[in-house]
Amino acid sequence: MNAIVSVTREWGIGRDGHLPVRNRADMRRFVRLTMGGTVVMGRKTFETFPGGPLKGRRNIVMTRDDGYRREGVERVASPEEALSLVSAEEPDSVWLIGGASVYNALLPACTRVYVTMNDMSVPADTFFPDLDENPDWVLESEEEGGTTEKGIAFSFRTYRLAKAAE
């Protein structure tokens, strides 16, 4: 399984339920990488999508609300249930896409994390684990991404689970 995330220098991923930066290149990369696969997310993340389920992907939403039902979505109540639902799938086609609690719960099941690193500092109330400070993860590759419409430089990083890199 993979995770995909857009972060600030401090690994911030959100504030008051919103992304810290709009980055079209990041969104295009997200679509390219996840298309045809399965995306696993929390309820709050899912509800930020204006068009409902992400088209061309299997959508799995993790929530403890037993009554939660949305067309085009499979609901799971726990990380274990999510892992069970995707166990027969090709691991590289399964993507964790947020939010923070889903990342924290399922990151140990991932072998790669695709990070868009936005070179900016803004206040955040939600963070992704700092993979540069975590010895379980190694930076596998980094490529310059360019700049956003607002002039924010960014790069695309890929981290690999250290024991998987050996």
Q: pLDDT digit string (tens) for 55-66?
A: 999 999 999 999
Name the average pLDDT for the chain.
95
Number of domain units in the chain? 1
* CATH number of the domain residue 22 falls in: 3.40.430.10
d(CA 108, CA 127): 16
d(CA 59, CA 108): 20
Helix (H) or strand (E) holding 34: helix 24-34
Q: pLDDT digit string (tens) for 142-154?
A: 999 999 999 999 9
d(CA 9, CA 150): 16
d(CA 60, CA 128): 20
pLDDT number for residue 164 = 61
Structure tokens at 53: 């389920």
Cβ distance 125 to 151 under 8 Å? Answer: no
Q: Where does the pLDDT of residue 18 fall: very low under 50, low under 70, confident under 90, or very high at 90 and above?
A: confident
pTM attached to this predicted model: 0.94
**Residue 82: burial class (beta carbons within 10 Å; 0-12, 13-18, 19+):** buried
The range of the structural domain enclosing residue 40 comes to 2-165
